[in-house]
Amino acid sequence: MMRTRSLVVLCVLVFSCLLLSAAPVPQTSSNQQQPGLFLGTAWYPEQWPESRWDADLQLMQNAGIHFVRIAEFAWSTMEPQEGQYNFDWLEKAVSMAQKHGIFVVMGTPTAAPPAWLTSKYPETLRMEPDGQLVKHGNRQHFDFTNARYREFCRQIATEMAKRFGHNPNVIGWQIDNEYATYSYDPETQRQFQQWLKKKYGTLDSLNQHWTTAYWSQTYDTWEEIPIPVGYNNPGLMLEWKRFVSDTYRSYQKVQIDAIHQYADPRQWITHNFMGWFDGFDHYTVSADLDMASWDNYVGSGHLDPAGQGMTHDLTRGFKRKNFWVMETQPGNVNWHAINNVLDKGEVREMAWGDIGHGADAVGYWQWRSALGGQEQYHGTLVGPDGTPMPLYPEVVQIGADFAKVGDVLRGTSPVAQVAFLYSYDSRWAIDWQKHTKEYDQLANFKSYYRPLRELVDTIDIVNPSAPLDGYKLVVAPNLNLLPEPVAKNLLAFVQAGGHLVLGPRSGMKDEYNALLPERQPGPLAPALGAHVEQYYALDEPVPVAGDFGSAESKIWAELLKSDAPDAKTLETYGKSNGWLDGQPAVITHNYGKGTITYVAAWLPDNAMNSLAKWMVDSSGVKSAFTNVPAGVEVCRRVGKAGDVFIVINHTKQSQKIALPYAMKDQLHGTGSSQEIELQARDVAVLTK
């Protein structure tokens, strides 16, 4: 479902392993109007003779493609020797694209430093935990803390910005490509120690917050503090991830500043993230970007609308505004277990899911495969012979779709009444101490998201510290770490009339990844009028029954104890391990003008469906569409002219859908009607 591909494709990884406002639609200084929705592709002119470029661009233009992302791996072509820059070829490519009505997103090439650089300055290479320097020949072999490397990055970004910062056809920049790797070299360790010193001030404070008296871990000097490898002190591990996040932010900022110095402000700056990849805190790394984007790959199997939708909503939450799908698969990838091609029609269905969840662009990776290099088997839009692949006509249709309704969707964005909270700190904390190997917290997250998303047309996924006013329902499926400011944010939301629903393992730890000296959900317990007595990793299912029906809880169950006479038990455990027998599994309590609910069990789909219905009804969340057939997804984007609904039939049969009021299908050009029929995998774009 969510992208496990980071485990597979990034073979250079040293560790194992996606208020609202519209995305900026900047004005270009060229006469060409930017489309309302962008269709695009990654194009690598440096891999092909110049004589071929025009034919490629013509084929792109025929498909309705309006952007190419280029240059993000072309460092050795742009700077073949230290300080010798060659951008003439790139400038030709950009102006040739312009002749075909194709805008350019310029990638900085810093994920792939050239061989002259890493051989002359081997300190720019990253170090594996075992002390080995990574060799040239792959990508992401750089050391993100290395000052010399950062200087090279600043220089290439500066030279590119000088050359293309005023180019009317360049609309934006992508910094680097899919940040993923760390370095374990002594200088990185020194910087980590300095970072800790700045944060904690004294070793006493650090030792206390990390409980280093445990196993004699006490640090007497900053220099003793290691980079964690494998399982280590939970406080140290969390701070390392935060350091990595700040370091990627500063690594990126070097290039952002270089570009800002020479580029027109209309040129936006993004980075292409990898969905749920957890190598760093994406809220931190997004902070200096104008817009987030992500690379949306299914990998093996087929489109999972809830999984995809959830990842879009996550990415939209990084900047709390529309985003781009910078890369997506043209049929198949080359890095998964089974690299099957998506079914006919599925790529278009997927593109509309992107747009429905707030993407303003869909870019295919890639246009044509390089004849050599590591990705020869990856899907493309044209073959090695330069003629269209079987998928090409489907992309032509997407181009026609976008041209037809681009203006209807221009400047529109999803607007939600429901928010999910997602925190990297909690993600890491649970994953490091799962307590049962079955605890897949993203599966738990999705067990809430899927049934709720079937009832409501939009869900935001936001940082727990984000402003929550405007939401009626806030769901926190995995909020394990609960720093005080977050607890205050949540309490204020409930006090003002919101409904907060907490999932299992909530409110257990403080901001240092230390256990709170109180029972879960810590500072929220008084408002809940209940607390968690004990948690149980389950080896056998536990029956539950109550307002959400009878079901079997698996994987995890917590024993709740009511502390307030008016705290209401909604679901109760049946006979199981003795401890849980007859005890509350779900408790709800009114607090201020709102409500707080704790779901202590990992509930199966049937109970989650009823819980979702109750959450929506009891929170006063309204959706225009009701009784939507199973497998049909409704997405809403809101603009000045009102609501635009994107309705996608994810099933393989035609479906009749009753509309809440008479609407026009702008995609099929039909007149006003109160019902539509959608063919298998087809889409409607509906307005009043």
DSSP state of 673: E
Compute the least distance from the CB of residue 372 to ligand GLA, in Å.
14
Size of the site for ligand GLA (CB under 6 A): 10
**Is residue 365 near ligand GLA by the rule CB under 6 A?**
yes
Pull the structure tokens for residue 233.
């002190």
Compute the least distance from the CB of residue 671 to ligand GLA, in Å.
42
Contact string (CB under 6 A) for ligand GLA, positions 132-171, x = contact: ----------------------------------------
Round to whole Å and give the CA distance between 314 and 294. 10
Q: Are 526 and 581 in contact (CB under 8 A)?
A: no
Round to whole Å and give the CA distance between 574 and 580. 7
Round to whole Å and give the CA distance between 274 and 531. 36
Q: Helix 305-319 and helix 441-455: axis angle, to 10°?
A: 90
Q: Alpha carbon of 576 to those of 560, 580, 581, 587: distances in Å?
A: 15, 7, 6, 19
Q: What is the per-residue DSSP string for 283-296?
A: HHHHTT-SS-EEEE
The nearer residue to ligand GLA, 295 or 558, going by C-beta atoms, is 295
Q: What is the largest CA-CA distance in the chain?
A: 80
**Is residue 354 near ligand GLA by the rule CB under 6 A?**
no
Compute the least distance from the CB of residue 106 to ligand GLA, in Å.
15
327 catalytic residue (yes or no): yes
Q: Is 305 helix (H, G, I), strand (E, B) or coil?
A: helix
My answer on whether omega of the bond before 366 falls inside 30° of 0, hence cis, is yes
**Is residue 682 near ligand GLA by the rule CB under 6 A?**
no
The nearer residue to ligand GLA, 295 or 633, going by C-beta atoms, is 295
Compute the least distance from the CB of residue 71 to ligand GLA, in Å.
12
**Is residue 333 near ligand GLA by the rule CB under 6 A?**
yes
Compute the least distance from the CB of residue 306 to ligand GLA, in Å.
22
The nearer residue to ligand GLA, 327 or 682, going by C-beta atoms, is 327
The nearer residue to ligand GLA, 170 or 333, going by C-beta atoms, is 333
Compute the least distance from the CB of residue 489 to ligand GLA, in Å.
34
The nearer residue to ligand GLA, 272 or 444, going by C-beta atoms, is 272
One residue of 56, 295, 454, 460 binding ligand GLA per CB under 6 A? 295
Compute the least distance from the CB of residue 322 to ligand GLA, in Å.
20
The nearer residue to ligand GLA, 333 or 599, going by C-beta atoms, is 333
Element (H, E) at 315: helix 305-319
The nearer residue to ligand GLA, 378 or 509, going by C-beta atoms, is 378
Residues 170-209 that bind ligand GLA (CB under 6 A): 177-178
Round to whole Å and give the CA distance between 485 and 624. 35
Compute the least distance from the CB of residue 357 to ligand GLA, in Å.
19
178 catalytic residue (yes or no): yes
One residue of 69, 141, 336, 378 binding ligand GLA per CB under 6 A? 378
Q: Which of 46, 178, 558, 571 is catalytic?
A: 178
When CB distances to ligand GLA are compared, the closest residue is: 295
Q: Residues 6 or more apart from 127 whose CB is under 8 A from it?
A: 133, 134, 143, 183, 184, 185, 188
The nearer residue to ligand GLA, 375 or 552, going by C-beta atoms, is 375
Q: Give pairs for 593-596: CB < 8 Å, separation 24+.
A: 593/495, 593/496, 593/497, 594/493, 594/494, 594/495, 594/496, 594/497, 594/498, 594/499, 594/500, 595/494, 595/498, 595/499, 595/500, 595/619, 596/494, 596/499, 596/500, 596/501, 596/502, 596/524, 596/527, 596/528
My answer on whether omega of the bond before 521 falls inside 30° of 0, hence cis, is yes
Q: Are 286 and 316 in contact (CB under 8 A)?
A: no
Compute the least distance from the CB of residue 384 to ligand GLA, in Å.
16
Tokens 């591990």 identify what position?
237
Q: Closest Cα partner for 111 from 91, 83, 135, 140?
A: 140
Contact string (CB under 6 A) for ligand GLA, positions 461-500, x = contact: ----------------------------------------
Round to whole Å and give the CA distance between 598 and 600. 6
Round to whole Å and give the CA distance between 150 and 146. 6
**Is residue 9 near ligand GLA by the rule CB under 6 A?**
yes
One residue of 327, 349, 457, 682 binding ligand GLA per CB under 6 A? 327
**What Rg do the C-alpha atoms of the chain give, in angstroms?**
26
Round to whole Å and give the CA distance between 269 and 107. 10
Q: Which of 46, 79, 239, 327 is catalytic?
A: 327
DSSP state of 680: T
Compute the least distance from the CB of residue 378 to ligand GLA, in Å.
5
Q: For residue 253, report the phi and psi dihedrals to the nearest 5 degrees.
A: -65, -30
Q: Are 352 and 396 in contact (CB under 8 A)?
A: no
The nearer residue to ligand GLA, 9 or 389, going by C-beta atoms, is 9
Q: Are 266 and 174 in contact (CB under 8 A)?
A: no
The nearer residue to ligand GLA, 140 or 489, going by C-beta atoms, is 140
Compute the least distance from the CB of residue 226 to ligand GLA, in Å.
31
The nearer residue to ligand GLA, 333 or 474, going by C-beta atoms, is 333
Region of residue 515 (left: phi > 0; alpha: psi -120 to 50; beta: else):
beta
One residue of 182, 283, 297, 422 binding ligand GLA per CB under 6 A? 297
Q: Are 476 and 502 in contact (CB under 8 A)?
A: yes
One residue of 375, 431, 533, 581 binding ligand GLA per CB under 6 A? 375
Catalytic residues: 178, 327
**Interface residues toward ligand GLA, by CB under 6 A:** 9, 177-178, 295, 297, 327, 333, 365, 375, 378
